[in-house]
């Protein structure tokens, strides 16, 4: 059992859309400094679980603990977060990187990075400009600070989105298929940054179709199938010694394994 501090814990989450059960009692624990990857076929519930983790979607039942504190829910159905301050604190400390970048098109890359820390966290603007330039250099696009998203490649936009997420100094990073919208060359630019963050000991939860990335960076891998965790374990165990027929079928369909 890991002794690291638990940053995020999901217990028995259930979520349905229009009567279709998408999550059927899924649990997950993310320890500080560790990378948890969620793999599985489309429709298995991976992205829904990630969105429930930072309350972009609201699980109908189950418990969520962030940094040791349980999310408080209203009593009436459908339930919703009962403590607005707690909700804001969670969302600011769980930075999400989306598949489609979600950069503000009317702002430069630099403005995208500093906007939330300045307006939400009240950080000093000049200090954040300096910090943003450091982060943009870190992800390899320091020369694009004054460019607008439309002037960037997909890989550059995603790296800008990662810099924006890091600017919030989050306790954990949530990645929702961060490379699936990119062509192979641009994908590798983003993979390199994610691997660098993993090497730094960042707490991350990663939904990905890139099995090699999941194998390379993950401390734990969860294989979701039909809304449940069908198998979980270390990257070595999941990818090299799959126990279930369904996971064996899934891995045999990927190029990496």
pLDDT tens string 160-194:
999 999 999 999 999 999 998 899 889 999 999 99
What's the pLDDT at 68?
Answer: 92
Number of H helices, E strands in the chain: 9, 10
Higher pLDDT, 1 or 200: 200
What's the pLDDT at 101?
Answer: 87
What's the pLDDT at 255?
Answer: 64
**Overall size of the chain counted in residues:** 257
Residue among 86, 60, 59 at smallest CA distance from 72 = 86
Which domains does the chain carry?
A: 6-252 (3.40.50.300)
Distance CA 245, CA 223 (A): 12
**Contact in structure between 202 and 33 (CB atoms under 8 Å):** yes
- In the predicted structure, residue 257 carries a pLDDT above the cut 70: no
Burial class (CB in 10 A: 0-12, 13-18, 19+), 223: buried
What's the pLDDT at 51?
Answer: 95
What's the pLDDT at 230?
Answer: 97
**Chain centre distance of CA 214:** 13
Q: Hey, what are 32's tokens?
A: 């500080």
pLDDT confidence band for 256 (50 / 70 / 90)? low
Beta-bridged to residue 222, according to DSSP, are 38, 232
Question: Residue 241: CB partners within 8 Å, gap ≥ 6?
Answer: none
Q: Any idea what DSSP says for residue 61?
A: E
What's the pLDDT at 231?
Answer: 97
- How confident is the model over 84-136, as pLDDT tens digits? 999 999 999 999 999 888 999 999 999 999 999 999 999 999 999 999 999 99
What's the pLDDT at 254?
Answer: 83
Distance CA 178, CA 89 (A): 24
CB atoms within 10 A of CB 124: 11
φ/ψ of 66, rounded to 5, equals -120, 120
Q: Determine if the peptide bond prior to 78 is cis (ω within 30°).
A: yes
What's the pLDDT at 1?
Answer: 45
- In the predicted structure, residue 141 carries a pLDDT above the cut 60: yes
- How confident is the model over 1-59, as pLDDT tens digits? 447 899 999 999 999 999 899 999 999 999 999 999 999 999 899 999 999 999 999 99
What's the pLDDT at 150?
Answer: 96
Residue among 157, 124, 151 at smallest CA distance from 139 = 157
């Amino acid at each position: 059992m890991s002794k690291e501090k638990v940053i995020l814990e999901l217990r028995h989450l259930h979520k349905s859309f229009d009567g279709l059960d998408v999550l059927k009692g899924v649990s997950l624990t993310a320890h500080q400094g560790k990378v948890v990857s969620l793999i599985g076929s489309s429709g298995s519930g991976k992205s829904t679980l990630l969105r429930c983790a930072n309350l972009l979607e609201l699980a109908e039942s189950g418990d969520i603990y962030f940094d040791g504190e349980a999310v408080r829910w209203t009593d009436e159905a459908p339930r919703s977060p009962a403590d607005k301050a707690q909700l804001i604190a969670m969302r600011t400390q769980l930075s999400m990187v989306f598949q489609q970048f979600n950069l503000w098109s009317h702002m430069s890359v630099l403005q995208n990075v500093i906007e939330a820390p300045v307006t939400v966290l009240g950080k000093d603007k000049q200090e954040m400009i300096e910090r943003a330039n450091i982060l943009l250099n870190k992800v390899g696009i320091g020369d694009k600070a004054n460019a607008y998203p439309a002037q960037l490649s997909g890989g550059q936009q995603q790296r800008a989105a990662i810099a924006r997420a890091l600017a919030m100094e989050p306790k954990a990073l949530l990645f929702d298929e961060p490379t699936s919208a990119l062509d192979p060359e641009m994908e590798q630019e983003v993979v390199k940054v994610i691997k660098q963050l993993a090497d730094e000991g960042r707490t991350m939860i990663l939904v990905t179709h890139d099995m090699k990335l999941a194998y390379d960076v993950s401390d734990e891998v969860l294989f979701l199938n039909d809304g449940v965790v069908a198998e979980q374990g270390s990257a070595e165990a999941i990818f090299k010694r799959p126990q279930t027929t369904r996971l064996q079928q899934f891995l045999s369909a990927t190029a990496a394994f």
